[in-house]
Amino acid sequence: MKFVLVLLSLFSLNGCSTLNFISAPFDHAVLGNQVESLFRRQNQASHQVMMLLLEESQNIDLEKIEQAELSMLEACKSLNEFAILERDNQKINLSKKQRILRSIPSCEQKTAALEKLLRQISKK
C-alpha cells in the first residue's frame, strides 16, 4: 500500500499528461491501482518467460520471447528501481521521480507486447 501511496504523490507532482495509458479523468485511486497492476503484470510476464525457458519446448521462438522480455525489463527499469527504493525505505529525489513518471507508458506498452506474445504461444 505504501508503494501505491508514494506513486500517487509522484503523479500529483507531474500531473497526468505523461501517463497516456491511464484513462481520463485523473483519479488518484484508479491511478494507484493501475500502476500497481502494471507492476504485477510485468512480474507475472517475467515469471511466465522463466517457466517457458525451463520447458525447453521446440515449438517456441525463445529468442523472440527473450528479446521481448529484455525490452520490457529495460522499459520498466525505473518502476522496478522505485519499488526497491520503497521497499528499503530510501528517499527518492525529484529527478528520479520524473524519470519514473516518464517510464510508465513505455513500461505498460512493452509489458502488453510481451503478454500478447505469451498468449499467442499458449494458444499453440
Residues 55-93 pLDDT 10s: 766 677 888 999 999 999 999 998 888 888 878 888 878
The residues, any chain, with a CB within 8 Å of residue 26's CB and separated by 6 or more, are: 15, 16
Residue with cell string 497492476: 37
Q: What is the pTM of this model?
A: 0.72
Which residues have a Cβ under 8 Å from the Cβ of 77 and sit 6 or more positions away? 103
Q: Give the pLDDT of residue 83.
A: 80
Out of 11-25, 36-50, 85-99, 101-115, which region has the weakest mean confidence (pLDDT)?
Answer: 11-25
Which range, of 5-9, 38-42, 115-119, averages the lowest pLDDT? 5-9
Given a cut of 60, is residue 46 above it in pLDDT?
yes
Confidence of residue 21 (pLDDT cuts 50, 70, 90): very low
Question: In angstroms, rounded to a whole number, what is the distance separating the alpha carbons of residues 113 and 116?
Answer: 5
Contacts of 87 (CB under 8 A, 6+ apart): 3
DSSP annotation of 26:
P
